[in-house]
Amino acid sequence: MRYDDPSGRFWVQYDVRHNGDQKEVDLVDNPIGDVLPSFTVHDARAGVTLFRSDSGMTHRIAFAVTNLTNELYAEFSNAAFFRPEPKRNFVVNYEISF
């Protein structure tokens, strides 16, 4: 879900993704077991246009927090050797466009 300010000054976004239980299809030893447990991941992002110059240069900054709930989970493709996805992350992005 995303909201963009009509003036283009800022935006906010919330993402949620849920994966249900997945049964193991490979017969290899899996450290998780026969069923990969379900998980839900939440992300939040926001950005703001700091300023626009007369020459057309625009400065923007954006922030994101991924995996807000710090969920321990593994995507199906990484489950055979249990490589979990990253825990909670904080991201800052500064953009200059011209």
Q: If you search the block for the tokens 């110059």, which residue do you land on?
A: 53
CB contact at 8 A, 52 and 96: no
pLDDT above 90 covers what percent of the chain? 63
For position 25, what pLDDT does the model report?
56
How is residue 43 written in tokens? 């992300």
- Residue 78 Cα to chain centre, angstroms: 17
Q: Which residues of the chain have pLDDT under 70?
A: 24-33, 77-81
**Number of domains making up the chain:** 1
pLDDT in tens, 38-55: 999 999 999 999 999 999
- Structural domain for 87, as ranges: 2-97
